[in-house]
């Protein structure tokens, strides 16, 4: 699902955070889309 919802830049950011061991939480519509909710968003809330 991440490949459909996240932009390449967002995926790169999350991969960098993972590589550095930085904890994060995706919230808002981005999180809802990852979980399968219908809709769109133009940003990623961390």
- The number of beta carbons lying within 10 Å of the beta carbon of residue 5 is 21
pLDDT at 26: 84
* Predicted pLDDT of residue 3: 63
Which value, in Å, is the radius of gyration of the alpha carbons in the chain?
10
Which token pair is 29? Answer: 């519509």
Q: What is the pTM of this model?
A: 0.69
Predicted confidence (pLDDT) per residue in 1-46, tens digit: 456 678 889 889 999 999 999 999 888 887 787 778 887 777 777 7
pLDDT (0 to 100) of residue 4: 67
Q: In the chain, helix, strand, coil percent, each to 5?
A: 50, 5, 45
**Tokens found for residue 45:** 């809330």
Check residue 30 and give its pLDDT. 77
């Amino acid at each position: 699902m991440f490949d459909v919802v996240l932009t390449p830049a967002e995926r790169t950011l999350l991969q960098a955070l993972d590589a550095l061991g930085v904890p994060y939480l995706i919230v808002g519509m981005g999180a809802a889309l990852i979980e399968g909710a219908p809709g769109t968003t133009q940003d990623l809330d961390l």
